[in-house]
Amino acid sequence: MSTEAPLHERVSGVLRERVARGEWAAGMRLPSEAALCREFGTSRGPIRRALSVLREEGVIVGGRGRAPVVGRVVPTQPFSTFSSFTEWARSIGRVPGQRTIEAASRPAPSTVAGLLGLDEGAAVVQVVRVRLLDDVPTMVERTSFPPEVGALLADLDADRGSLHAHLIARGVEFRRARHTIDAVAANPLDAEALEVASGSPLLRERRIAFDAARRPLSYADDRYRPELATFTIENEVDRRSPLTRSDPTVDGSAR
């Protein structure tokens, strides 16, 4: 049995990549349905389904009598897969980068210690980096690791490599993660690193990663410029949604 994706998904993927690479710029009018039918050797049905998918994602705008045009696209990171910033950036045709601010062993704040199953004040390995998309500062990444996991980073050049990929190569098995998304104001470090004004709104993702035995492997506090990245969570009526809502005063990690 063929595992090839349906035609409309392949078409939407090709068109999405053209937008991500900048081949089709914001405001550009898309080729007609007839032209796309000729290019992909298909009927209007798959083409219209592909355009509908891209319209739902905001990649294109228009319709209902108006010719579709490329929208102003903010890169979107889905939670359907367990991927790193580096993997995500490459999947959307962007060049990932990083600049390390700090990589050191330090006493864990009480909240971080609790999330990692450690005693308050226990040592953790903390890595603070600025993450880049095409050399543009996009996110400040603060990740804390228990000592036995952090020790595996000793031979990594944090300015060049992916923490996630490096740990996997060292045998660390990431199997589950819990994500919490909210908004915070940029503190002085965030503002300087992301080249925004202090107090500017940032999109924050807090993430705890676990192994197969549900042991905590890392705690991350990632803060994005909201005009450069968004998140998506896809729900289905007949399946329990992974998205939950919570009182922000209950899960109040240190800011």
DSSP for residue 29: B
| Distance, CA of 224 to CA of 184 (rounded, Å) | 10
10-residue mean pLDDT series, the chain (255 residues): 71 86 84 94 93 83 76 58 73 86 93 91 95 94 96 90 88 88 95 96 93 92 90 62 50 43
Is 208 exposed, middle or buried (CB count within 10 Å of its CB: 0-12, 13-18, 19+)?
middle
Enter the tokens of residue 255: 């800011």
| Distance, CA of 195 to CA of 19 (rounded, Å) | 26
What pLDDT sits at residue 241? Answer: 53
What pLDDT sits at residue 52? Answer: 87
Hey, which residues does 29 pair with through a beta bridge? 69
What pLDDT sits at residue 252? Answer: 43
What pLDDT sits at residue 158? Answer: 85
**In the chain, what are the domains?**
7-70 (1.10.10.10), 76-232 (3.40.1410.10)
What pLDDT sits at residue 245? Answer: 46
What pLDDT sits at residue 64? Answer: 58
User: Is 113:120 a contact under the CB 8 Å cutoff?
Assistant: yes
Sign of CA dihedral 217, 184, 224, 99: negative
Query: Which DSSP string do the residues of 221-235 spell out, in sequence order?
Result: EEEE-TTT-EEE---
| Distance, CA of 182 to CA of 24 (rounded, Å) | 32
